[in-house]
Amino acid sequence: MEMNAYYEGYLDNAQDTLGNMMDYAVHSCGIAAEKIFEMFLISGAAKQFERGNPRYIAGMSGAELASEAVLKVTGKQLEEPEEYDMTKSPEYWCGWILAYYQWRTGRSFQKIHQVVSIDEILCMYPTHHEADEERFVETMEYIYQKRHTKSYLQQMRENIGMGTDELSEQTGVPKQVIEGLEMDFTKINATDTITVFHLSRVLGCSMEMLMEI
């Protein structure tokens, strides 16, 4: 599982930025924690962040990151002043620890959010915020293994209401191959790029969203 998303030297900045984004959005702007994180995902900022784009993980303040996400999704500009309390809020911790977990596992924020909601992570604050980050990683991995009962391929296929027969017909990938990939989750990681490309194109997702990490 050791698949760090970017150079470790950026990690402290990344954690602080995402923590401040959550804190600013919730406490300064009155945006629900779940909502700002969803806008972070939809806006494309999450993709830039998880790929280690220096502008996002080190070059922006939390308020700037929140403002960009909100502007891209709603077209509205946040105008509340950027003020942070020295006492870190549960929302700050939520963003801070999520940045660590994403870096630690290499999973996209979208995949993480599909398995565990922001509200659930906030509920972990009393028992985890003073513990080592690896305790949170252990808890998240336990939840992930319990809930990730279908391959990403199957999830994406079912999300658009497509059967394996139709997917096979539209991609040219044999039905038995698709069924094999859905039964043996990690098999897709060793599948040729062309096959994964055709599957992702028809399912309307990126290739990396089908990979099992």
Q: Tens digit of pLDDT per residue, the chain (213 long)?
A: 455 678 899 999 999 999 999 999 999 999 999 999 999 999 999 999 999 999 999 999 999 999 999 999 999 999 999 876 778 899 999 999 999 999 999 999 999 998 999 999 999 999 999 999 999 999 999 999 898 888 889 988 998 999 999 999 999 999 999 999 999 888 998 999 999 999 999 999 889 888 887
Residue 57 is given by DSSP the state H
Q: What angle do CA 21, 58, 56 make, to 5 degrees?
A: 65
Any idea which residue has 């060793």 for tokens?
190
Cβ atoms 136, 100 nearer than 8 A: yes
Which among 87, 73, 99, 74 has a CA at the least distance from the CA of 21?
99
Other CB atoms within a 10 A radius of the CB of residue 51 amount to 12
Phi, psi of 94 (to 5 degrees): -60, -50
- CA–CA dist 45, 87 (Å, integer): 26
